[in-house]
Chains A and B, each alone.
Chain A
Amino acid sequence: MNWKTFYALLARDGHVARRNLLPTLLQNLLQPLLFTFVFGKVMTTSGMMPAAYKSMLLPGVMAISMVLAGVQAVAMPLITEFQFTREIEDRLLAPIEIGWLAVEKIVAGMIQAMVAGLVVIPAAWLIMGSGVRLDFGKPFEFLLVALLVALFSSAGGLALGCSVGQTQIGLMFSLVVAPMMMFGCAYYPWSALESFPILHMAVLVNPLVYASEGLRGALVPQVPHMNTLVVIGALAAIDLGLLYLGLKKFHQKAVS
């Protein structure tokens, strides 16, 4: 392991991300924030939704923003860089093990996911106005869940970026990411699905469920949410699985 090289690779990704800061933020935050405005502001103010919905919604919106940010930050550049031009080759030739380059990509993605998550809290709060009741009484639990969510998103982005070609990105987003967001318990708590027993169990394969429920447990414990230990266990297992898959795929892609 070679820290100088690792840091330089990270600096390169940071440099590129800063250059694209505004479009990236818009891409990852616009949709969740519009949802926040419609359901958290319009519907609650007009009385069609209870005011308590605001507090329930915020962690879900945060989960979605983090996952979108992490996945896109890692997957999108990888897909282009592994294309015909093989732009990634100069970094594969840097004096560091190939696996560490993948790890660097994951770390860069996690940082971007954390930034997105931290930007979305005040933004959503501002949009929804009074009535959001966040509880920062469990900072370590919050941090741990947020880090696990960030790792899930960027390791997922790595696996995705090394598996999908440029032509299938659009399909991927409409077929996998869109349903994942709707059935990710971001806009409603998991307990709301109790009246749909099959769906209630089926959504458990969706990692976003644990992300939303975990952040809910950490930020708005007054709202019904999944047991935190279950969430942490599930996220850790998913993270390890995706990490393994992503690193394996990356190695396959990197060497001919």
Chain B
Amino acid sequence: MGIGIRIENLRKVYDAPPPMAGGGAGFSFAAVRPASKEKSPRKFELVALDGVSFEIRAGEVFGLLGPNGAGKSTTIGVLTTRTQPTSGRAFIGEYDVWRQQVQAKRLIGVVPQRPNLDFALTAREILTFHGAYFGQGARVRARRADELLEKFKLTDRATHMVRTFSGGMMQRLSIARAMMHDPEVLFLDEPSAGLDPQTRLLLWEIVRDYNRLGKTIVLTTHYMDEADTLCDRLAIIDHGRIISQGTPAELKATIPGGYLLRLRFDRVTEELLVDLKKLPGVTEVRSADQAFVDVYADRGGPLIGPIVNTAQAAGFELRDVHIAEPSLETLFLHHTGRSLRD
């Protein structure tokens, strides 16, 4: 079995700033404040998703990659019934996420970007009540809760109120909660943010094990190694659009040359670019701005000597070099002209 996911031409335009922006969220009791009355001169409009379509196959680990504000969380929000799409449709299995919310919700487990644990409960209660919401009987609930607490190394804190937990512990509990009702599809929005290195490895292990049971996994991440090692397929998203998708290997193969050398000179001219392009193994040369040049090539270090010589011969001074091995980082730079962390 296994459940696939399909997204068709999804658009999301936010018409109000995020609720928490700017302190208290406006006093709006009763219908005294109609939107039309305070038509502000500039109406808020933010296009978060701009025609996103993709398909996730049943049983695969799918990664969404992109810089801050690209629309990853919004995509997950739409797929998990938490965000209403402005247009377009999303399906979990055969269910239209927006129209058949309850059926869709039964199939999914969600780890949000910010842990949203029920602060009125203890760690163990969070799991058992979550199981109860999904109709699990008392005995099943208790057993699964204990298993998951053990798995995520939270057993000794099981009876503590979660408000006393550290960020990483909350994150672990949040993942445990998402797995509590054994969902067919697991969404993880930046699951390893805030986790220490060992816990990250533990998380990877758990995700792989879960995937082996035939479950579909959708995750977003900023970490290249995570996307690289964990995901069967990836989509790169930027400014609410999918710019590229495929297996990590396929995506890497699209980068011209494979290696990327970011060079910084005292100045950059057209003739310098032409000279660089002539060097052996160079497939593409781009100038990002006044001082930076990106050189795509089939080799890294061995190219430094020739570059220095070329620059000196033409009277330029090379000030900085950064070599990126073939990786998703390079890929991302290639497609967006920006580093993932910009």
Contact = CB atoms under 8 A, between A and B. Distances in A.
Contacts of B108: 93
A256 B105 CA distance: 17
B102 A8 contact: no
Q: Interface size class for chain B? A: 35 or more
B27 A163 contact: yes
A87 B119 contact: yes
Interface stretch (B76-84, B214-222, B290-298): B76-84
A164 B20 CA distance: 13
Contacts of B14: 256
Given A5-B135, A89-B112, A168-B27, A96 B102 contact: yes
Majority secondary structure, B binding face: loop
B267 to A, nearest CB: 47
A85 B116 contact: yes
Interface stretch (B124-132, B225-233, B257-265, B306-314): B124-132
A95 B105 contact: yes
B28 interface: yes
Interface stretch (A9-17, A39-47, A107-115, A225-233): A9-17
Interface string A62-106: 000000000000000100100111111111111111100000000
A165 interface: yes
Interface string A156-174: 0001100111111000100
B119 A85 contact: yes
B101 interface: yes
Contacts of B301: none
B216 to A, nearest CB: 17
Interface of B: 14, 18-20, 23-31, 77, 80-84, 101-102, 105-106, 108, 110, 112, 114, 116-121, 125-126, 129-130, 132-135, 177
Given A15-B125, A95-B102, A95-B106, A8 B82 contact: no
14 contacts: A5-B133, A5-B135, A8-B129, A85-B116, A85-B119, A92-B82, A93-B110, A95-B105, A96-B133, A165-B27, A167-B24, A168-B24, A256-B77, A256-B83
A26 interface: no
B133 A94 contact: yes
A15 B121 CA distance: 9
A2 B81 contact: no
Given A15-B125, A168-B24, A9 B116 contact: no
Interface in A1-52: 2, 4-5, 8-9, 11-12, 15-16, 19
Given A12-B132, A83-B20, A90-B177, 8 more contacts: A2-B135, A4-B132, A11-B132, A84-B20, A85-B114, A93-B82, A96-B133, A97-B102
Given A91-B133, A92-B82, A2 B120 contact: no
B24 A166 contact: yes
A-B pairs, top 10 by smallest CB distance, nearest first, are A8-B132, A94-B133, A167-B24, A165-B24, A89-B116, A163-B29, A165-B25, A4-B135, A16-B120, A86-B116
B121 A16 contact: yes
Contacts of B106: 95
